Structure 1
Amino acid sequence: MKRRDFIAGLGGLSTLALTGQGVRAQEAWPSRNITMVVPFPAGGQADIAARPVASYMQKVLGKPIIIDNRSGAGGSLGNATVARAQPDGHTLLMTLSSLAVLPESDRIYDRPVAYEVDQLQPVARVLADPTLFAVPASAPWKSIEEFVADAKARPGAISYGSSGPFGTLHVSMEMFAIAAGIKLLHVPYRGATPAISDLLGGQIQALASAPGTLKQHVDAGTLRVLANFGGERLAAFPNLPTFKELGYPDVEFYIWAGLFAPKGMPAPVVTKLRETMKQAMSDPEVTKTFEAAGNMPAYQDSEEFAAFVAKDSARLVAVARKIGKV
């Protein structure tokens, strides 16, 4: 054998060896624990979406999935953490519809943008619930009409809570306030859970949040819901009118929750992650857990979810620009 043929042969073997190592590395995913960042406190919509899915996924993947409730800046802190993470499939993000609004809020305030949406790739949508307008059961308002009349009589006197400036709860309430021509007092929190706690305690007077975070309190008689931000009535709240029914055709808001990953993951990891999510969202136990909390599963695979995110985000960014500096 000629020397150059021998060397070429070694080169081919080296290439084959490296290719084999690459395949084995990809096939080894996950090689360690997976962190699923939830950019809000425990008990909120993103957390409700994350836990049943993570529980199922770790059974299939054979590695623990650790929920990291990294709240702050209305969700921006956790979103940015994952956007900057290594795209190896070991850091994931379960986040909400405020994903696209938060970078826009940075631009509105001339702040450095914490992350861009295109740094993250959609994996699967989990939930897509409309927010509900809630007040304490002891509140004087029995309808949206009564609430609006009082708010017009006392501009800025009625307070509402949110998960932070330009978060999902803030944008939905301001969407309503703009349409109704009223001025409310915005009180930001680190997430829905502490906001609901203060709503129950009477420190704030109103809140828009997902059915799953409100249902137990409505069932217990401690909160009252006045309207549904969705396009149609909910089976869990059949007597609750939509804002469209109440004469506000442009007031529609869904607090969706979906799984994202840092952009640039190896294709085999993406495929395995998508397949695992599809299995999780069709599992009866996962479905039962969501329904018991008052949430209806709303699964979408990555391509369909990416198109949904793009369309919904454009609409919400337009609302954020109307809100402006607050």
Structure 2
Amino acid sequence: MTSSTKAFLGTPLAALLIPAAAIAQPYPSRPITLVETFGAGGPTDVVARLAAQQLAARLGQPVVVQNIAGAGGSVGAAKVAQSAPDGYTVLFGTLGTQAFNLGIYKRLPYDPVKDFEPVALLVRYPLVLVVNPDAPYRTLGEFLSYAKARPGQLSYGSGGTGSTAHVGCHLFNTTAGIEATHVPYRSTAPATIDLIGGNIQYLCDLITTAVPNIQAGKTRALAISTRTRSPALPDVPTLDEAGLRGFEAYTWNALFVPKGTPKEVIARLREAAVAGLREPEVQPTLRQLGIQLPEASQTSSAYLGELVTKEIRKWVPIIRQSGAAID
């Protein structure tokens, strides 16, 4: 070692530079936690685990799915918001955690915009308007005529007050001019049982849970809530083409990280997640669930940030109007 090198190592500048260089490691250098805000085994959990597998394969580190349910996903989202902004704790966010909860809960333990960096929109889930297969209406037009002739006499179910099924159906009722009573259930399963039994008249079900019952002939689909038809239900018209012009409602999953996470880390996560869910081996599962991938132009971090803002503006007033808000 030369005398000049020894001299440099004794300076304050060297004391700052050497530790930083010693700890600098390429991302990721250890396992990543993907926080999923619903219970294990549901459709969202299935997609989260698919995403985790693909992320792990591309990033070269294990990606562990951690299910943290409660308060519409608020518990899990808050945990991520309060985590270190280093890319090792990632939120598998939903329309609920990033938009609905602002309208439902008066005191939310995080800010969906200020506390997160958007990474990428991953998938979309349409809603399906389903009825009892023995009902006297076989098309959306017939159903609307039937419902409007009986204001306040029909009831619709959902998997709980403030759920996507509840709020989406409320928007449908308002747009279509229907007066009906909401019957909340603990989950979609008992609501479907009562639909089949004739205790309620319709349900705005997520396509992931609707498709098996439709295919089994237990329920009948009248329309789907997205602008384009679903490959899983190609014969079911959209609400737009069936008469409710411009109607669109769906939920989604996307990745978010704590505010302040480095841009290069966000880019690495985005590239791995978007590419992973487009792998051929993943497509059969997504198709079976009726889940749609966004267009390539809709997978940027900027697009996701704009989407969250738009969803908040759209859904918060609807949620408050629906009576789903909790004081």
Unaligned runs of 5+ in 1: none
Conservation of the 8 A alpha-carbon contact between 1:129 and 1:255 = yes
The alignment's TM-score, normalised by the length of structure 1, stands at 0.82
Distance in 2 between residues matched to 1:9 and 1:189, nearest whole Å: 69
Partner residue in 1 for 2:156: 159
Q: Which amino acid aligns with 2:182?
A: H
- The match for 2:266 is 270
Q: Any residues of structure 2 matched to 1:217-236 within 5 Å, and which?
A: 217-236=213-232
1:47 to 45, 48, 51: 45
Q: TM-score normalised to the size of structure 2?
A: 0.82
Instruction: Give the distance between the partners of 1:192 and 1:261, measured in 2 at CA.
Output: 30
Aligned partner of 2:251 in structure 1 is 255
Change (3 A) 1:139 1:21: farther
Which residue in the other structure is 1:23 paired with? 24
Deviation at 1:157, TM superposition (A): 4.4
Q: Distance in 2 between matches of 1:41 and 1:148?
A: 35
Residue identity over aligned pairs, in percent, reads: 33
What is the CA distance between 1:253 and its match in structure 2? 0.5
What's the offset of the Cα at 1:22?
4.3
Q: Deviations over 1:42-98 (max 9, x none)?
A: 454432431211122222334433333333333333333322333232322223223
1:189–1:158: structure 2 CA closer, same or farther, 3 Å change rule? closer
Matched, 1:10 2:11: yes
CA distance in 1, matches of 2:118, 2:190: 28
Secondary structure at 1:274's aligned position in 2? helix
Cα deviation digits, residues 109-135 of structure 1 (max 9, x gap)? xx3223211212221111123211123
What is the number of residues matched between the two proteins? 317
Decide whether aligned partners of structure 1 residues 239 and 7 sit closer, same or farther in structure 2, where only a CA change above 3 A counts: closer
Q: How many angstroms apart in 2 are the aligned matches of 1:31 and 1:85?
A: 16
> RMSD of the alignment, in Å?
3.1
- How far apart in 2 are the matches of 1:305 and 1:286? 22
- After TM superposition, give the deviation of residue 268 of structure 1 in Å: 3.6
User: 2:20 corresponds to which letter in structure 1?
Assistant: T
1:305 aligns to what?
304
Partner of 1:320 in structure 2? Answer: 319
Residues 275-321 of structure 1 deviation map (CA, whole Å, 9 limit, x = unaligned)? 21133133221233212332232251212222233233322234234
Q: Which residue of 2 aligns with 1:112?
A: 107
Q: How does 1:178-257 map to 2 (within 5 A)?
A: 178-189=174-185, 192=188, 195-196=191-192, 199=195, 204-257=200-253
Q: Is the 8 A contact 2:158 2:191 kept in 1?
A: yes
How far is 1:20 from its partner? 0.9
Structure 1 pair 185–269 and aligned structure 2 pair: CA distance change class (3 A): same
Once residues 161 and 315 of structure 1 are traced to their aligned partners in structure 2, the CA distance between those partners, rounded to angstroms, is: 20
Show the counterpart of 1:68: 66
Q: CA shift at 1:215, angstroms?
A: 1.7
Task: Give the whole-Å Cα distance in 2 for the aligned partners of 1:7 and 1:195.
Answer: 73
- DSSP-derived class of the 1:46 partner: helix
Asked if structure 2 preserves the Cα contact closer than 8 Å seen for 1:159 and 1:184, the reply is: yes
| Gapped regions of structure 2 (runs ≥ 5) | none
